[in-house]
């Protein structure tokens, strides 16, 4: 049996990483997805997608460009909120498609959105493919329902804020147990 040193057969070539020129900002992706999921606010009783002007302004504020119709945005947002909600099962058979583009940036394929919803979906897809999507959750408090990112080590965070929603729920639970 003959062993061949792989360096002798194939010398190591120093080449730059393929991702050097590609910007991958997962914190930006997380913030964008959360901002989209939180376009409805149960606590304040506001819904950005009720007004096309507010939806357009939201897209401009996020730097996303063209704002597609509010009905499509609401359908996609609600499906995404359902998918990350702990208390609701996603609708069986729900499927939708949205056009995104694959561009070559310095020879590296990257996904880009053609409009605001496409950009949000591209950010969400990156979170799915990097294992970060499961950390996006919806606060179970009925008067909150805020989307948040679980940064806990064991992914066990339940409330958007332990000081507000978690405290309220624990106090409510304690009162129920100790009320005669």
For residue range 3-19, what is the model confidence (pLDDT) as tens digits? 555 555 556 666 555 55
pLDDT at 33 > cutoff 70: yes
pLDDT in tens, 87-145: 556 666 677 888 899 999 888 888 889 899 999 999 999 999 999 999 999 998 888 88
Q: Choose between 167 and 52: higher pLDDT.
A: 52
Whole-number pLDDT of residue 48: 95
Q: φ and ψ at 174, to 5 degrees? A: -65, -45
- Identify the structural domains of the chain with CATH numbers, from first to last: 26-179 (1.10.3300)
Give the CA dihedral 85, 86, 88, 89, nearest 10 degrees.
Answer: 100
Q: Is 70 exposed, middle or buried (0-12, 13-18, 19+ CB in 10 A)?
A: buried
Residue 49 CB coordination number (10 Å): 19
User: 8 φ, ψ to 5°?
Assistant: -75, -35
């Amino acid at each position: 049996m003959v062993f061949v040193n792989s360096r002798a057969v194939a010398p190591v070539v120093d080449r730059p990483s393929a991702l050097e020129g590609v910007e991958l900002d997962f914190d930006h992706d997380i913030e964008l997805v959360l901002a989209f999921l939180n376009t409805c606010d149960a606590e304040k009783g506001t819904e950005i997608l009720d007004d096309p002007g507010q939806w357009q302004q939201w897209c401009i504020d996020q730097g996303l460009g063209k704002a597609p119709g509010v009905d499509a945005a609401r359908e996609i947002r609600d499906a995404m909120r359902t998918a990350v909600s702990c208390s609701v099962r996603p609708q069986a058979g729900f499927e939708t498609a949205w056009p995104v583009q694959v561009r070559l940036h310095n020879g590296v394929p990257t996904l880009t959105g053609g409009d605001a919803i496409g950009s949000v979906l591209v950010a969400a897809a990156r979170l799915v493919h990097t294992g970060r999507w499961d950390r996006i959750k919806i606060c179970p408090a009925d008067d909150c329902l805020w989307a948040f990112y679980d940064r806990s080590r064991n992914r066990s965070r339940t409330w958007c804020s332990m000081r507000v929603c978690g405290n309220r729920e624990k106090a409510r639970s304690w009162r129920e147990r100790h009320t005669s």
